[in-house]
Chain A
Amino acid sequence: MNDGPLIVQSDKTLLLEVDHPNAEAARRAIAPFAELERAPEHVHTYRITPLGLWNARAAGHDAEQVVDALITHSRYAVPNALLVDVADTMDRYGRLTLTKEGLADSPEGTRLVLRTTDRPVLEEVLRHKKIKPLTGERLDDLAVVVHPSERGTLKQELLKVGWPAEDLAGYVDGEAHPIDLDQADWHLRPYQQHAVDGFWHGGSGVVVLPCGAGKTLVGAGAMAAAKATTLILVTNTVSARQWKDELIRRTTLTEDEIGEYSGARKEIRPVTIATYQVLTTKRKGAYAHLDLLDARDWGLIVYDEVHLLPAPIFRMTADLQARRRLGLTATLVREDGREADVFSLIGPKRFDAPWKDIEAQGYIAPADCVEVRVTLPEGQRLAYAVSEPEDRYRLASCSDAKLPVVETLAKQHAGEPTLVIGQYLDQLHEVAERLGAEVITGETTVKERQRLYDAFRTGEITTLVVSKVANFSIDLPEASVAIQISGTFGSRQEEAQRLGRVLRPKGDGRTAHFYTIVSRDTVDADFAAHRQRFLAEQGYAYRIVDADDL
């Protein structure tokens, strides 16, 4: 029994003791194939999944390395069944390959062929109802023709039956367009360069970098490598603008070469940035902007925040398999569990940042998260108890008891830029009135909003009350204190994203504060429990205090 920092569990999770002297070595050894699931302060949890193992395989690691990493760093004997399973799973990748082969009778013509090294595997997959129709003529025992339009769907289906195909069929070059990095006053960080190289060699795939580690620059680097027209798909307009600014600043591209394709503008230029939302907008039951995908002969497609990629985009992506695709994300874990589609349609993981290195560079700053619990007055408790389930959340969230707490907190942080975030408009107006602050909601005009933000940025006003709609769709300024008075039903991912925006590392090194005010013994508290777990798993410090103790 050695005294390693790693404990391998029978449910295929790996527990890594962070304070162990060898923890760093163990982390490096398991990072290629295991996904970090939870990172609280002492013991981090990684999970081994087939996708993770195939990702490792695609990155050139073999089963022996994985088994060796587990055995070397594990404190206890690793269950044999798990080792066998790891080897078996990894062995499944690459038994099938998609290749482009020339035709004997016409030197120019090529066709897409699914080839195997192992005949029974091909026989097995061809027997599947959903796979058979995607293939054409059987060439010999080990190969079958695939229609080029089914390249994506076939990879998806093959992955579903556990035989992921390695896509070696190559890519079209697309319409060439000169793009270079303008590295006059800055340079790609080494890990960013590695990420670009990793992607370019793999041809297509996902680069995983934590928030703030410069994913946009990796995108720019990839574009400079491709030197071709590029379609960039992003989550929202704010992000689109950021991309545009960043590209103008860091590359040789000028403003005229970059188009924005969103709800507001419909420009198609050599580099076009489109939002997921506009692509998935339906008119009369059909996707209205599907033409964008074929508007130019794109040489590269960049997907920002792959873990938020909406389902229809997957379907569209299935038809774009001949184009190079770069996915950028902070995590491969998707709330909807469609990690497999990312793997088969965008591509395997091509680069995963050594998390600790980036942290050491000061990109991830801890924030102080405090949950303040208020007790509902008796009358409201009764009203809550007899209310319909669908009204309960509103009742609990909008309790009057929260108002004095907001005031107290605002007073405590007087002078610091403070955002009060809520979901219900009457509640927001009431808070704003009490604090003497301005409110920004979805109804606020752009001009007014811009004015308030500018005033907030310059420190002219220190407190702003914003609605969920507002903080989601606009370029929210940074604050050092955020007070959430009513939460959302949204996914934890979404919430963390928003938190991340507010809790950017501060220039002067001050700690950011995040308060949530929660009504005790209600569904509000249940949601808060989820939030607490998620934040603690992300490594944030979390406290719970009673309103009376403030």
Chain B
Amino acid sequence: MATPSRSLADDIRGRSDAELIDLVLARPDLARPAPADLTSLAARAGTRASVQRAVEALDRGHLQVLEAVVVAGDAAERGTLLHLLGTDDARTVDAIVQDLWRAALLWRGADGDHVVRTVPEVLGTAVAGLGAPMRELRPSSPPEHADPDRIRAAVAEAPDDARAMLERMTWGPAFGVLPTSTPGRTTARWLLEHHLLVPVSTDRVAMPREVGLVLREGRLHRSVELTPPDIEARPVALVDAAAGGAASECLTHLDELAAEWGAEPPRVLRAGGLSVRDLRVTQMTLDLDPEHTAFVVELAYAAGLVADDGEVVPVWAPTSEIDEWSSSEAGHRWATLAVAWLGSTRAPHLVGRRSTGTGPANALGPDVQWPAIRAIRREVLRELASLEPGHAADHTSLRRRLAWRRPNRSAAVLDEAVEAVLRESEWLGVTGRGALSEAGRALVAPLLPPPAPSARGGGSSTTGVATTSNGKRPARARADRAGGAADIPSTAQPPPEAGAVAETVAAAMSAHLPSPVDHILVQADLTAVAPGPLVGGLGSFMRLAADVESRGGATVYRFTPESVRRALDAGWTAADFTETVRRSSRTPVPQPLEYLVADVARKHGQTRIGGAAAYIRSDDAAVLDTMLASRDLTPLRLRRLAPTVLVSSADPRVLVDLLRDNGFAPVHEGQDGAVVHAETPRRRAGSRRRGPGPMVSPVDRPYTQSLVDGLRAAEATADQRRVEDETRPGPRIQAMDPVVTLSLLRDAVADRHGVWIGYSDGHGATSRHLIHPQKVEGGRVRATDESGHEKSFSVHRITGATLES
């Protein structure tokens, strides 16, 4: 244990290397950019932004203990904490306090634990729904007003309606608007007169913290949940079969999407994304509900199978990767999707939602990017993985568990996201009938903590788990913001190779995918039933040659004149077509189908259409003969369509110029046949291509180790300088990191201490001032200077500060 410290900085300087590494891994934002020394590390750990992030990452158990520590005040007894929490589980509370210390939200002084000064700010005035203390609400009030015994006596003699009013405010919010009705006012007046409420403005009142605590009978929380709530699970059968079926169907959907978009790629909207209309077209093609369609589209995007092609008129088209993907073994195809889905920061369930001020979010658009979904997805899967294999979670209890893990998230948003994740994993086949499939388990395995935490032995298993996940979450938040860095388990082992994971996942899924079939059943109503997923070649033929009518374990295709024409357009001949169907069909090919193919083939190609950039027409066929024969005109690639018409693929202007050079006298004809004069065209450059997003390397153990080594070295240098400084007389002001300055100033405000500051004026000259800071906010310090005048200093101009000795 550390030697008694006087501040957070002291505490941190006193920590062992292992403890420092734990701290940085738990709060990786401290490491970016690398702090110069342990003092800056401590200062950064005390900044509002960093503390906020750390507090947001706490689960409900840790948050409740932290709130209790804040309310109990500095160096509180353990008994006080237990009383506030209304529990006698000292072991759990101690373990959680230790976690909070490890995350540097508490520091340990000689007298006990202290909350880092910014923590109460982050928690806000209403800690656990309590109001501010009496002293803060009314600095002028005598201390006896805050005395619990007095309050208890006052409450005991309160009239019924007054007590009812108090009860309404007991569990927060501890603020209220004064009633307008006369009896209401009378009640409020009684409470104000007895100092159970305190006015904060002309029409608002607040309940002081002391009163709240008395009404809550000394308890801080209505219900204390130090350990995670249980997930109710029920056993389900046929999990892997169901997941395999879903996975197979999901692959079919992507194949269809690729076929559809490969033929007719939809436009990329100017703001990015896919238009609502195009999504609906895709939805009709895939025959899915809108959310499922959005999921399929986003999945293809996440897996890099479709992308913006970056052309002048950009479209969403299948990427070159899709060809390799399509021809891989089904298990690998699935693994690619599953791994991409797990790492994706896109939330398909937001598609179509209306965010404030804009239209509905478009699939593949920027509004669907929501980094938090990645963490939620992983968390959901991790919870599912914690269940017995073959058990499905009850959704309500699962949502409750996740809400416990993230008490700071809006419950509605979280619940919605959790439900969306559960739906998506069912569609994808990560779960089957609500339980994690074998392949799903293989996918999640790298995210799970190893069975026994290596760094800390002895802690109870519950808190062990809580610590691990607690420690991990900021790391993830950080990685999310960076947009794609790998997740960092807070364990010593490096994460398994991504390729290896994909292999395991593919193998796990392969066993449960329905085996592909190589035949179809063709019927007289011009439908063909594929009683399972079709083998590659036959699958693409059927997608081309027939329209899909129904999907699932089997696929029902219907041959229509349009679909047959599509196949002929793609180069199939009627004979090949019929022969392929005959070969693949287990049933005799019905006569109407043969007739249909022959009938469509008969008409196919009756009319021909081609493209030409320009035509040449002349009533004198001999002139055209000359042109065709001319060697100089060969580059124009003239072709005769009729005796008096030639076409060329060259631009009309080029044609005119070249013909003139060769002694002809052509004129340019407009669309209506009249002679026109060419205009000078205006040039435009193609749109700029966007580069890839920034890549951030993760804050992992090796990195942290080297960071801490650096800090130790810097600390040694700093110590040496400190020794040198102390030998010099008079106050010296060192140049300091602004966050260090800020925390020093805050300390000074709290302790009502004078501070020497170095201050650079508008011309860059630095002057020294002894000030008594009163408030630090909005980047400014309000203080009284030596002459007693109140002044305001910009923090960014303070070069350094030191406490008045």
**Of A10, A38, A80, A521, which contacts B242 at CB under 8 A?**
A80
In the bound complex, what is the Cα–Cα distance between A543 and B590 (angstroms)?
8
The contact of B531 among A1, A13, A75, by CB within 8 Å, is A75
Residue of A nearest to B248 (CB): A76
* Contact partner, A76, options B524, B529, B532, Cβ 8 Å: B532
11 intermolecular pairs with C-beta atoms under 8 Å apart: A9-B551, A9-B556, A43-B523, A71-B238, A76-B241, A76-B554, A77-B242, A80-B242, A80-B426, A80-B434, A533-B526
Pairwise interchain contact B553-A9, C-beta atoms closer than 8 A: yes
Given A76-B514, A544-B592, are A9 and B554 also a contact pair (CB < 8 Å)? Answer: yes
Q: Mark A274-301, 1 if CB is under 8 A from B, else 0.
A: 0000000000000000000000000000
Does A424 lie at the interface of the complex (its beta carbon under 8 Å from any beta carbon of B)? no
Contacts A77-B241, A536-B592 given; does A10 touch B524 at CB 8 Å: no
| Chain B contacts for A537, CB-based, 8 A | 525
1/0 per position for B220-255, CB-CB distance to A under 8 A?
Answer: 000000000000000000100110111001000000
Contact at A42–B529, with CB atoms within 8 Å? yes
Could you tell me the distance between the alpha carbons of A544 and B241 in the complex, rounded to whole angstroms? Answer: 43
| Given the contacts A76-B514, A77-B238, A11 and B525 also touching, CB distance less than 8 Å | no
**Is A79 in contact with B525, judged by CB distance below 8 angstroms?**
no
> What is the CB-to-nearest-CB distance from A548 to chain B, in angstroms, rounded to a whole number?
13
Pair A80/B587 contact, Cβ less than 8 Å: no
Expressed in whole angstroms, the minimum distance between the Cβ of B522 and any Cβ of chain A is 8
Q: What 1/0 flags go to A1-25 for Cβ under 8 Å of B?
A: 1000001111101010100000000
With A and B bound together, what is the CA distance between A16 and B228 in angstroms? Answer: 48
Q: Pick the contact of A536 from B525, B529, B553 — CB < 8 Å?
A: B525
Least CB distance from B217 to A in Å reads 36
CB-contacts of B65-93 with A (<8 A): none
Q: Is the CB of A77 within 8 A of B244?
A: yes
The answer to whether the Cβ of B287 comes within 8 Å of any Cβ in the partner chain is yes
Contacts of A10 in B (CB 8 A): 249, 550-552
Q: Is the CB of B592 within 8 A of A15?
A: no
- The reply to whether A41 and B587 contact each other, CB–CB distance below 8 Å, is yes
Instruction: Report the nearest B residue to A75, measured CB to CB.
Output: B553
The answer to whether A353 has its CB under 8 Å from any CB of chain B is no
Contact for A7 among B433, B434, B531, CB less than 8 A: B531
User: Does A405 sit within 8 A of B, measured CB to CB?
Assistant: no
A77, B237: Cα distance in complex, Å: 10
Contact check, B551 vs A74: say whether CB atoms are below 8 A apart. no
- Partner among B245, B521, B525 whose Cβ is within 8 Å of the Cβ of A533: B525
Is A364 located at the chain interface by the 8 A CB criterion?
A: no
The chain B residue with its CB closest to the CB of A529 is B561
Distance in Å: Cβ of B514 to nearest Cβ of chain A: 6
Contacts of B64 in A (CB 8 A): none
* In the assembled complex, B283 has its CB within 8 A of some CB on chain A: no
Beta-carbon contact of B554 and A15 below 8 Å: yes
- A354 at the A/B interface (Cβ < 8 Å)? no
Interface size class of B (residues with CB under 8 A): 35 or more
Show the binding face of A for B, using Cβ within 8 Å.
1, 7-11, 13, 15, 17, 38, 40-43, 45, 71, 74-81, 520-521, 532-533, 536-537, 541-544
CB distance B238 to A79 under 8 Å? no
* With A41-B523, A41-B524, A79-B552: A542-B242 Cβ-Cβ less than 8 Å: no
Q: Which residue of A lies closest to B551 (CB)?
A: A10
Q: Which residue of B524, B529, B531 has the most chain A CB atoms within 10 A of its CB atom?
A: B524
A542 touching B241, Cβ below 8 Å: no
Which 4 residue pairs are nearest across A and B when measured between Cβ atoms? A9-B552, A76-B553, A536-B525, A77-B241
Does residue B704 face the partner (Cβ distance < 8 Å to A)?
A: no
Pair B552/A11 contact, Cβ less than 8 Å: yes
Q: Any chain A CB within 8 A of the CB of B671?
A: no
Kindly provide the distance from the CB of A87 to the nearest chain B CB, expressed in whole angstroms. 13
B238 touches A542 (CB 8 A): no
**B283 vs chain A, min Cβ distance (A):** 13
From residue B438, how far is it (CB to closest CB) to chain A in Å?
A: 14
**B802 sits at the interface (CB 8 A):** no
Docked-complex contact A7 and B553, CB < 8 angstroms:
yes
| B595 closest partner in A (C-beta) | A544
In the bound complex, residues from chain B placing their C-beta under 8 Å from that of A536 are 523-526, 590, 592
Cα A77 to Cα B525 in complex, Å, equals 27
For the residues of B in contact with A, the DSSP-based class is mixed
List, in ascending order, chain A residues with CB within 8 A of B242's CB. 77-80
- Which of A1, A13, A80 meets B550, CB within 8 Å? A13
Say whether A42 contacts B523, CB under 8 Å: yes
B348: CB under 8 A from chain A? no
* Cβ of B527 under 8 Å from chain A: yes
Question: Are A81 and B426 within 8 A (Cβ)?
Answer: yes
CA separation between A17 and B514, bound complex, in Å? 17
For B505-538 the 0/1 string (1 means CB < 8 A from A) is 0000000001000000101111101011000000
With the chains together, A15 CA to B553 CA distance in Å?
Answer: 10
State whether A7 touches B554 (Cβ < 8 A).
yes
Q: Which of B550-604 contact A (CB under 8 A)?
A: 550-554, 556, 587, 590-592, 595-596, 599, 603
Does B432 sit at the interface, judged by CB under 8 A?
yes
Nearest chain A residue, comparing its CB with the CB of B240: A77
B527, B531, B552, B591: most-surrounded residue (chain A CB, <10 A): B552
Residue in B closest to A533 when the chains form the complex, CB atoms: B525
5 extra A-B contacts, CB within 8 A, seeds A79-B246, A532-B525, A536-B524: A7-B553, A13-B550, A38-B525, A532-B592, A536-B590
Report whether B432 and A542 are in contact in the complex, using a CB–CB cutoff of 8 Å: no
User: Which residues on the B side are within 8 Å of A74 (C-beta)?
Assistant: 553
| Chain A neighbourhood of B523, CB < 8 A | 40-43, 536
**Chain A residues with Cβ under 8 A from B596's Cβ?**
544
The distance in angstroms between the C-alpha atoms of A43 and B529, with both chains bound, is 8
Measured between beta carbons, the chain B residues less than 8 angstroms from A79 are: 242, 245-246, 552
Closest to B560 in A: A529
Write the chain A residue with the least CB distance to B434: A80
Could you tell me the distance between the alpha carbons of A532 and B525 in the complex, rounded to whole angstroms?
7
A341 to chain B, nearest CB (A): 27
Q: B245 touches which one: A17, A42, A43, A76 (CB < 8 A)?
A: A76
B521 proximity list for chain A (CB < 8 A): 17, 42-43
The complex places the Cα of A7 from the Cα of B531 at a distance, in Å, of: 8
Within 267-289 of B, Cβ neighbours of A (below 8 Å) are at: 287
Tell me if B552 and A17 are in contact (CB < 8 A). Answer: no
- In the complex the two chains form, what is the Cα distance from A45 to B241 in whole Å? 23
Q: Which of A15, A76, A77, A544 contacts B556 (CB 8 A)?
A: A15
Bound-complex Cα distance A17 to B551 (A): 16
Rounded to whole angstroms, the CA-CA distance of A520 and B596 in the bound complex is 12
Kindly state the separation between the CA atoms of A41 and B526 in the bound complex, as whole angstroms: 11
B41 CB to closest chain A CB (Å) equals 51
Q: Tell me the minimal C-beta distance from A231 to chain B in angstroms.
A: 39
By a CB distance below 8 angstroms, the chain A residues around B249 are 10
Instruction: Tell me which residues across on chain A come within 8 A of B241, comparing CB atoms.
Output: 1, 76-77
| List of B residues within 8 angstroms of A78 by Cβ | 242, 245
Name the residue of chain A whose CB is nearest to the CB of B243.
A77
Taking A10-B249, A10-B551, A76-B241 as contacts, is the C-beta distance between A40 and B532 under 8 angstroms?
no
Measured CB to CB, the closest approach of chain B to A515, in angstroms, equals 15
State the CA gap A502–B764 with chains docked (Å): 107
- Give CA–CA (A71, B433) in the complex, Å: 13
Query: Measured between alpha carbons, how far is A16 from B297 in the docked complex, in Å?
Result: 32
B residues within 8 A CB of A541?
524
Smallest CB gap from B238: residue in A = A77
Q: Taking CB as reference atom, which chain A residue is nearest B527?
A: A40
The interface residues of chain B lying within 8 Å CB-to-CB of A521 are 603
Closest to A20 in B: B531
Bound form: Cα–Cα A490–B20 in Å: 84
Give a binary string over B722-751; 1 marks a CB under 8 Å from any A CB, 0 the rest. Answer: 000000000000000000000000000000
Cα A17 to Cα B523 in complex, Å, equals 12
A17–B242 Cα distance when bound, in Å, is 21
Shortest distance in angstroms between B240's beta carbon and chain A's nearest beta carbon?
8
**CB atoms of A40 and B524 under 8 A apart:** yes
**Distance between B247 CB and nearest chain A CB, rounded to angstroms:** 10
Residue-wise interface mask of B (427-462) relative to A, using a CB-CB cutoff of 8 A (1 in contact, 0 not):
000001110000000000000000000000000000
Residues of chain A within 8 A (CB-CB) of B527 are 38, 40, 43
